[in-house]
Structures are given as C-alpha cells and as structure tokens.
Chain A
Amino acid sequence: MNYKIGESVATRQAYGDALVEYGNDPRIVVMDADLSKSTKTDGFKVTYPDRFINTGIAEGNMMATAAGLSTCGKIVFASSFAMFAAGRAFEQIRNSIGYPHLNVKIGATHAGISVGEDGASHQCLEDIGIMRTIPGMVILNPADAVESNLAVKAAIDYDGPVYLRFGRLAVPTIFDENYKFEIGKGIQLKDGSDVTLIGTGLLVPACTEAAEILAGEGINARVINMATIKPIDKDIIIKAAKETGAIVTAEEHNVIGGLGSAVAEVLVENAPVPMKRVGTQDVFGRSGKPYPLLEMYGLDAKTIAAKAKEAIAMK
C-alpha cells in the first residue's frame, strides 16, 4: 500500500490493489461477472490468473458458486457493481452465503450516486439497507484508499460473510499508513461538544469540511468515521449522543435503511437525542457528473452543516 494523503484514488482501485497485495494467499479466489476492468479486479486477474474466475454476466450464479468454493476452504471475493451484487443477487447472498455464514466477501463497487453518468439504473442507494437485514453480515464502507486496503485485509482475516462497499469516483486519501482499522469500530476524527457528525464512505471528508464551516459559526462539531455499518459501533454513538446532544449522519445512500437508520436504531433504544440524516431522500438518482450530482442531492458539506444546525436547534 502506497497512498499519499491528499492523493485522489477511487476506493474500487484500492480494492483491486489490495487483492493483488494480499493475493499470494493461495486460499484467495477472486470472482467477477464481466466487470473486472471496472471493479479493478483485473490486476488480480493478471497476477494470479489461475485463481481469477470470470462467471460472465451472471451475478446470482457467481454468489452461489462463491459459496460452494468457500465450503472447500477458499476465501472468495465475489465482485460486481453494488446494484447487481446486493440487488440482483440478494437472494443467493441471503440463502447460500448468509444463512450458512460462509466465508465469502462481496466486493461491491460503483455504489452510490457518484457513479455519475450511468444514471439511476446503476446508482445503488439501497445496498446497505438490503445487506443490513441479513443476519451475521458484516458491512464495510471505507472512506478512502488506505481504509479500503485495510478493510480488505480485515475481511480476509475475518471468518464469515462481509459486504465491502466501494465507489467509482476518485476521492482524496485522508488516512496515512499508521491508520488502524478494526471491524466494528468507529473512529473519532475530531472531538467536539455541540453536535456529532457521523459520516461513512466519501461523505467522511464532507463531514470534516462541515465541521470547519460550523467552527466558523462558533459551533464545535465532533466528527466520526463509521466505516463499519454492521456491526455498528454502539459505544461511540451513545457516547457522542451523551456528550454532544445532537447527531447528524451522512452517507451516499437512501436515508432509509443505511447508516442513518442504523444510528437512529441505536439512539432510540439507548440515548435518544435530536438527529438529522443526510443522504438521498428516498428518490432515485439521475445521470450527471459526480460532484454536481452529490450537490444536487444534498450530499455535501454545506448540507451537513445546515442539518447540524437544525439538530442543535431541536435540543
């Protein structure tokens, strides 16, 4: 792994790089459904051709085949776009991977609206919600290349199904090599006392930027990076609720079912405080350039800062 802070790298690229980096483990098999150039598994294909399996455009078959491979000791990374992994192949993931709790890792790239020009048919804004309902499924949504690399490593070391969510868009690298990643642990990036901004994926830097906007208005915001959506880090959420009294979540996903829902579930049962959810507001996306789309759908620092003030006002 060799990413510099500030360097622009898509998390899907980091996924592909990590598969090559850790791929000398003979147990690892990488599968793809005719999208290896886009999911970036093509690097593994070149380096370890014997352990790269293209299933053609047949995602359901890929997931169940991955399940069979895993029963024979393989650690399988089954890769496709989030839409076709979590969406089309949901039932294979649920019944053949989730139910027997098999050691399959689902590498889902092109998640979220930042897919851009391909439009709503390919912009998966439902996958976290879908995957979250499967018992025992771990869901990782890394924010940058470094975290993506460490998430792949953690997935290899973890025995059980993991859904890894990556983006198409090149995003700034925000962590250095000393960054410690642990499944199930949120990371506090900035302390604060007035409100907590909990971000995941490419909205983590937006949360940091929102905290700066708020600081300019005299509001001291805490920022948490929640790379693991499931199992959610309850402790860090409850602590934030008790210490800051207001929460904003930010994710590139429908506000129904994703990080916002997961955090809300923890809050209502443990430490109810005012909360606002930044995400797509139960609508489909559309074609366009990624950043203008993110702005159009309110997935940016400006919106997060505005929602923070709304949450604070509800205290």
Chain B
Amino acid sequence: MDSNEIKDLQIHAAHVRKMALEAVHAAGAGHPGGSLSVADILTYLYFKEMNVDPKDAKNPDRDRFVLSKGHCSPALYGILAERGFIPKEDIKGFRSIDSYLQGHPDMKKVNGVDMSTGSLGQGISCANGMALAGKLDGKSYRVYTALGDGEIEEGEVWEAAMFAAHYKLDNLTAFLDYNGLQIDGEITKVMNSTPIDKKFEAFNWHVIRIDAHDFNQIEAAVNEAKQTKGKPTLIMAKSVKGKGVSFMEGQAAWHGTAPNDEQYAQAISELDAYIDSLGGDK
C-alpha cells in the first residue's frame, strides 16, 4: 500500500471510532474499549479486502465476516455505516428501543451483518460453518472472524479451532484482537490463556503475529493467510484497548462503560485532530 492508501484507511478508521463512540455515548452503554481496538482490522477488511456490496449484502458469493466478539457491535455498526450498509444517522439509535441496532449484532435486522453474535465462543463456530459451506459448494469466497482475547477462554473456541483444522478450512481467517484486557482485568490475571499463538499452532493453525494498528502488517498477514493452503490462519493482532482515545488506551475500565458528555467531547476532539492531521474530512 502506498502512503495515500494508508492515510485513507486511517481516516476511515477514525470515523469508525467516532461512530462507535457516538453509539456508546448516545446509548449510555456499550463496549468502547474493544470496539476501538478492533477498528483498524474492520476498516482494512471492509475497505481493502472483502468482496462485499452494500446494495447486494446477501450475495451468496460474497466474502463473510463474523464478529465473534459480538459486544463490539459499535465498531461493526461504525464500519457498516462508513461503508454504506446502513445510514450514518442511525448510529445514535444504538441500543434504544426504537432502533434496529441491538446491543449485539442481529443479522435479521441489520444490512450487512452476516451472523447474529454476542454469546462468546459461538461466532467462530458459525464462521466455520460458512467456510465449510464454501468448500462444499466449491465457492471461492473467504470467511473472516474476529475473536476477543477474553473470548478464547470459552471452551467452544477450542472445539471450533479443532474443527477448522480438521476440515482444512484454509478459506477461514480469524483475527485475535489481542488487547490483553477483559472486563475483570488483565487476561493473564483473570485466566491466563497464554501462550495463545502456541496453542493455536498446536491445534494445527497457521499463526501470524502482527500489530493490529499497522495497515501494512494487516495487509501482509491477510495475504499470507490467503496463500496458506490446507489450514486455517489465526492473525494474532496485538492491539491497544481503547486505541485512538488517550484516556481510554490500555484501560480495562473502558471495556463496557460509556463516556460522559465531557469525556465524549474530548474523545471526539482527539479523533478530529487526528483526522485533521491526515488531511481528512471530519
């Protein structure tokens, strides 16, 4: 990617972050920390990688994305709005009784959501099913999913990891949003799942380690995954929870807490300043 392409992605990602925060602030509830950490991955997938069309969101040949860490719906709604699947003005309805934007993604209500998620551990299984269907039908679409690093404490993730390797689902790429924090604190203190990369390797996955906020590294990893035959790929993406908002970065407290008006204004002004610095439109 040249520097202009990267700049474009960075601007889109900043808008996704702004909308994620707008959603959580308007609702007074939601999950900003993990939404900000996964925003760059989503931006890369939806703007650079996946074959998707907002006007034909159910096309059977499309690439698919499953937000296994479904509580980060603010980021998913942000990217869907930024990419034109849903109107940007609907974001502020997040979690409200008259909105279709549920607390966790509902595939029946939201254009562009490929799977209803929210109960941790299930999304990766669903992604496996989509990848397997692609194999059965001889289709070339690819399936992406994003796991939380707290989420992988669920046993089903490892059942799914076994399954994906057993059925050689090389059309599946899973991102691990490795921000190191879950609601109750550091993942190594709540329930130490490390070394995560070695565990997936032992489950016969191809594992790539990257910085979740470096678009060149995301691109290289996605391309490497596409070239990897006979096994699924885990992209272990070291991320910063709350990325892009100074006072949220690296703080477990921002896992599931909405900013107040003052905090929200500060967060938006930081992101706007960032967009300004890139020469983008706010």
Residues of A within 8 A of B (CB): 29, 50-51, 53, 55-56, 58, 60-61, 63-74, 76, 91-92, 95-96, 99-101
Q: Please, which residues of chain B bring their CB within 8 A of the CB of A91?
A: 119
In the complex, A105 Cα to B122 Cα: how many Å? Answer: 18
Task: Identify which of B122, B134, B136 contacts A96 (C-beta below 8 A).
Answer: B122
Residue of B nearest to A104 (CB): B129
Tell me whether B132 and A51 are in contact (CB under 8 A). Answer: no
- Given A95-B119, A96-B122, are A70 and B162 neighbors across the interface (CB < 8 Å)? no
Tell me whether B125 and A65 are in contact (CB under 8 A). Answer: yes
Residue of B nearest to A29 (CB): B136
In the complex, A194 Cα to B123 Cα: how many Å? Answer: 53
In the complex, A7 Cα to B87 Cα: how many Å? Answer: 62
In the complex, A99 Cα to B136 Cα: how many Å? Answer: 25
Tell me whether B136 and A51 are in contact (CB under 8 A). Answer: yes
Tell me whether B107 and A68 are in contact (CB under 8 A). Answer: no
Task: Identify which of B126, B136, B162 contacts A58 (C-beta below 8 A).
Answer: B162
Q: Mark B109-137, 1 if CB is under 8 A from A, else 0.
A: 00000111011011101111111111011
User: What are 26 A-B residue pairs whose CB atoms fall within 8 Å in the complex?
Assistant: A53-B132, A55-B159, A56-B162, A60-B125, A60-B156, A63-B125, A64-B122, A64-B129, A64-B160, A65-B128, A65-B129, A65-B132, A65-B163, A67-B125, A71-B115, A71-B126, A71-B130, A71-B133, A72-B129, A72-B137, A73-B60, A73-B133, A74-B133, A95-B118, A99-B116, A100-B115
Could you say which of B108, B115, B123, B125 has the most chain A C-beta atoms within 10 Å of its C-beta?
B125
Tell me whether B133 and A72 are in contact (CB under 8 A). Answer: yes
Residue of A nearest to B162 (CB): A56
Q: Please, which residues of chain A bring their CB within 8 A of the CB of B160?
A: 61, 64-65
Residue of B nearest to A59 (CB): B159
Residue of A nearest to B166 (CB): A56
Tell me whether B129 and A66 are in contact (CB under 8 A). Answer: yes
Q: Please, which residues of chain B bring their CB within 8 A of the CB of A66?
A: 129
| Minimum C-beta distance from B211 to chain A (A) | 29
Question: Is B170 close to A, CB under 8 A?
Answer: no
Residue of A nearest to B134 (CB): A72
In the complex, A56 Cα to B118 Cα: how many Å? Answer: 25
Q: Please, which residues of chain B bring their CB within 8 A of the CB of A29?
A: 136
Task: Identify which of A69, A96, A100 contacts B133 (C-beta below 8 A).
Answer: A69
Tell me whether B126 and A67 are in contact (CB under 8 A). Answer: yes
Residue of B nearest to A92 (CB): B122
Question: Is B106 close to A, CB under 8 A?
Answer: yes
Secondary structure class of chain A's binding surface, majority of residues: helix
Beta-carbon contacts under 8 Å, B71-124 to A: 106-108, 114-116, 118-119, 121-123
Could you say which of B115, B129, B131, B133 has the most chain A C-beta atoms within 10 Å of its C-beta?
B129
| Minimum C-beta distance from A92 to chain B (A) | 6
Q: Please, which residues of chain A bring their CB within 8 A of the CB of B133?
A: 68-69, 71-74
Residues of B within 8 A of A (CB): 60, 66, 106-108, 114-116, 118-119, 121-123, 125-134, 136-137, 155-156, 159-160, 162-163, 166-167
Tell me whether B163 and A68 are in contact (CB under 8 A). Answer: no
Tell me whether B125 and A92 are in contact (CB under 8 A). Answer: yes
In the complex, A281 Cα to B244 Cα: how many Å? Answer: 59
| Minimum C-beta distance from B21 to chain A (A) | 27
Q: Please, which residues of chain A bring their CB within 8 A of the CB of B119?
A: 91-92, 95-96
- Given A53-B132, A96-B126, are A64 and B156 neighbors across the interface (CB < 8 Å)? yes
Ranked nearest first, the 5 interchain pairs of A and B with the lowest CB-CB distance are A68-B129, A64-B125, A72-B133, A61-B159, A68-B126
Q: Please, which residues of chain B bring their CB within 8 A of the CB of A55?
A: 159, 163
Tell me whether A72 and B130 are in contact (CB under 8 A). Answer: yes
In the complex, A203 Cα to B131 Cα: how many Å? Answer: 42
In the complex, A68 Cα to B130 Cα: how many Å? Answer: 5
Residue of B nearest to A64 (CB): B125
- Given A55-B163, A68-B125, are A95 and B116 neighbors across the interface (CB < 8 Å)? yes
Task: Identify which of B106, B115, B162, B167 contacts A68 (C-beta below 8 A).
Answer: B115
Q: Please, which residues of chain B bring their CB within 8 A of the CB of A58?
A: 156, 159, 162-163
Residue of A nearest to B135 (CB): A50
Q: Please, which residues of chain B bring their CB within 8 A of the CB of A71?
A: 107, 114-115, 126, 129-130, 133
Q: Please, which residues of chain B bring their CB within 8 A of the CB of A61?
A: 125, 128, 156, 159-160, 163
Q: Please, which residues of chain B bring their CB within 8 A of the CB of A69?
A: 129-130, 132-133
Q: Please, which residues of chain A bring their CB within 8 A of the CB of B128?
A: 61, 65, 68
Tell me whether A65 and B126 are in contact (CB under 8 A). Answer: yes
Q: Please, which residues of chain A bring their CB within 8 A of the CB of B134?
A: 72
In the complex, A128 Cα to B66 Cα: how many Å? Answer: 31
Q: Name 16 extra pairs, CB < 8 A, besides A60-B125, A64-B160, A68-B115.
A: A29-B136, A53-B167, A55-B163, A60-B155, A64-B123, A64-B156, A65-B126, A67-B125, A67-B129, A68-B126, A68-B129, A68-B130, A70-B129, A74-B136, A96-B125, A101-B108
Tell me whether B60 and A72 are in contact (CB under 8 A). Answer: yes
Q: Please, which residues of chain A bring their CB within 8 A of the CB of B159?
A: 55-56, 58, 60-61
In the complex, A64 Cα to B157 Cα: how many Å? Answer: 11
